[in-house]
Amino acid sequence: MILLKTKEEIELIRDAGLLLGKTLAEVGRHIRPGVTTAFLDQLGEQFIRDNGAMPLCKGFEGFPSAFCISVNDVVVHGIPGEVFLKEGDNVSLDCVINLNGYVADSAYTFAVGEISPEVQRLMKVTKEALYIGLDKCKAGNRVGDISHAVQMHCEKNGYNVVRELCGHGVGLQMHESPNVPNYGVKGTGPLLKEGMVIAVEPMVCMGSKNVKFSKEDGWTCRTRDGRPAAHYEHTVAITANGPDILTTFDFIENSNN
């Protein structure tokens, strides 16, 4: 069942999204060569809790950390640990928080020092795909309109979208209906209605779309060909006039980092 949110609930989700944007920026300020992903996770969890929120990834179906931190060929669900970042890496931070009973979900891919032009372009196109998908978040459209728009932008630029994982409804819980794939056919899928809140999250591979999941931890999702991936995500409310983006990258992109 798709849960429609009231205007009051959407404002509370926006509050969570604002804090989440600040959290990603705070952790992002510490991304540099020599830092471990475990350190970034601990820093972020402390910031979330200090601001009166809860990190929802931690403990979800046994996931051990507050953040998914995914480096290079890890598409999503990287488990923080004694992984030292190095110059030229790209690293995505994906986090879900609950603030006063309302949930926001967001992800951003960061460069570690100077990265190659090829990875810069992958990140640029993935982020563009996010906003192109968000432009379809209007009452009367369908989920397939979002999916198709994301897929077409990525593929026309020579990249591939992951099939096994997708965006989703969000707001009262971390995962709600409907699923929001990053590939699909225009005019298909659930109807977008005012009051729906979803997470749109392109997961894009430089090479093949094929991925593999770690047999050791059951979570880590890597590209099969070992080439880099990128991931960006916003929580957005559907309105009659288009997207109302409830999370923000402003704190990341307006920082001095």
What are the pLDDT digits (tens) for 184-206? 999 999 999 999 999 999 999 99
Mean pLDDT of 171-184: 98
Q: What does pTM read for this prediction?
A: 0.97
Mean pLDDT of 140-155: 98
Mean pLDDT of 195-222: 97
> Looking at the predicted structure, is the pLDDT value of residue 257 above 70?
no
Beta strands 211-213 and 102-111, pairing class: unpaired
% of residues, the chain, pLDDT over 90: 99
> Looking at the predicted structure, is the pLDDT value of residue 255 above 90?
no
Mean pLDDT of 165-177: 98
Mean pLDDT of 77-94: 98
Q: What is the overall mean pLDDT for the chain?
A: 97
Fold classification of 7-253 (topology level): Creatine Amidinohydrolase (3.90.230)
The pLDDT value given to residue 242: 95
> Looking at the predicted structure, is the pLDDT value of residue 34 above 50?
yes
